[in-house]
């Protein structure tokens, strides 16, 4: 396909061409925003590596009842509305990896933005939340820590 054929197609299908242009702009915007958001979405395998390295602080922002039903071993539960950069679990961890986890990643993303704003350097959010952890057949611990 050459440029003339592409332009002819666009002329014959203006709505389809507009939709394609809109989707392209949306994808480019999303990827650029992801680069500058200040935290990294990580997969369950990457989280296990951080945990095994021994210096990651894993914070589960789920409701206490959900946390007791199942959570990542070694994670600490803090309700999302009570969590912030000055919380005792992360206040002295500005140079350590901090991993935020919840059921949907929504609370984690919000908390990650607050940590970034406060100067934390290594902020991670579990991509897909705890369902992605379970989907990877990784174990969950029941009860309180």
Contact 141, 72 (CB under 8 A): yes
- Rounded Cα distance between 98 and 82, Å, is 16
pLDDT 10s digits, 82-139? 888 888 888 888 889 999 999 988 899 999 999 998 989 899 999 999 999 999 999 9
pTM of the model: 0.75
Give the residue-averaged pLDDT of 20-24. Answer: 91
Bridge-partner residues for 76, per DSSP?
59
d(CA 70, CA 65) in angstroms, rounded, equals 9
At 134 the pLDDT is 92
Which residues pair with residue 97 across a beta bridge?
Answer: 122
pLDDT in tens, 52-95: 887 899 999 999 999 999 999 989 999 888 888 888 888 888 88
Summarised one tens digit per residue, pLDDT across range 32-44 is 776 667 788 999 9
């Amino acid at each position: 396909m050459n440029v003339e054929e592409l332009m002819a197609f666009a002329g014959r299908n203006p709505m389809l061409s507009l939709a394609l242009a809109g989707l392209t702009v949306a994808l480019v915007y999303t990827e650029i925003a992801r680069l500058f958001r200040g935290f990294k979405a990580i997969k369950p395998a990457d989280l296990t590596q951080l945990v095994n390295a021994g210096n990651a602080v894993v914070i589960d922002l789920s409701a206490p009842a959900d946390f007791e039903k199942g959570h990542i071993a070694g994670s600490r539960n803090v309700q999302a509305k009570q969590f912030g950069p000055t919380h005792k679990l992360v206040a002295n961890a500005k140079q350590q990896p901090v991993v935020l986890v919840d059921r949907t990643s929504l609370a984690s993303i919000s908390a990650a933005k607050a940590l970034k704003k406060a100067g934390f350097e290594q902020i991670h959010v579990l991509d897909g939340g705890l369902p992605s952890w379970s989907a990877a057949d990784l174990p969950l611990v029941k009860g309180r820590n």
